[in-house]
Amino acid sequence: MNLVLATTTPGEPEIFASLQGEGASIGRPSVFVRLSRCNLACQWCDTAYTWRFAGDNRPHRDDRSFARGDNQVSLDPCDVAARIRAFGVPRLVITGGEPLLQAAGLVPMIAALGQGFHIEVETNGTVAPAPALDGMIHQYNVSPKLAHSGNPAELALIPDRLDAWAQDPRAFFKFVIASADDLDEVKAIAQTYAIPPGRLFVMPEGTDSATLRERSRWLAEAAMQAGWRFTDRLHIHLYGDTRGT
């Protein structure tokens, strides 16, 4: 089964090398593969070109839709693996969209990579990893979506999935924070599912350095008080809100 990838420009898959910008692996050189399609619709999503295609009326703050043909490309998993290996970087981050929707294509892609790769998956936490894929993954970066994302809780915060991620030592939680009001929701989720503080990151929402710095001032202090970890968005400071970075 082919993988459906996002694009940097029409026809060019979004496969690139950069520094990981967020979470437990921040600052590490990595190869990124961005897959298309998502089962959620965050109103502040900075990769809406992976899901908000023409005809999709789910709310987004930019109210912009994208032409599917220009923003999706289908590739054989072995082709994707060859492109990844060409960078010579042994850390792979599979992102999206929601990558776990495409497990059937990811399994042969990872198998074709061969040995020596540390493999991370970035997920919204609503989809269970297929068993054949799960055994290939070294790290999950799980980003449950809070109420300010605009997603209904019954779709975004699935109890059995949150419980499973909390029990998996490979899973690091990353909560996107737009205002101080979001912190109470994080506290409730962390308490309900007994998420270890060492595996819980809070990150400011924003797609420009000025917004991130303003929110980081009070969010860093909140993380200190709660015993959580704080993560910035390094790639935004380095490259701006651009594809392929």
Rounded mean pLDDT for each run of 10 residues along the chain, 245 residues in total: 97 98 98 98 98 94 95 98 98 98 98 97 98 98 98 98 98 98 98 98 98 98 98 97 96
CA distances from 5 to 11, 73, 102 (A): 10, 5, 10
Q: What pLDDT, on a 0 to 100 scale, did the predictor assign at position 33? A: 98
| Amino acid letter, 81 | A
| Amino acid letter, 122 | E
CATH topology of domain 3-239: TIM Barrel (3.20.20)
pTM of the complete model: 0.97
Residue spans per domain, the chain: 3-239
Strands (E), 128-222: 139-142, 171-177, 200-204
Q: What pLDDT, on a 0 to 100 scale, did the predictor assign at position 188? A: 98
Q: What pLDDT, on a 0 to 100 scale, did the predictor assign at position 238? A: 97
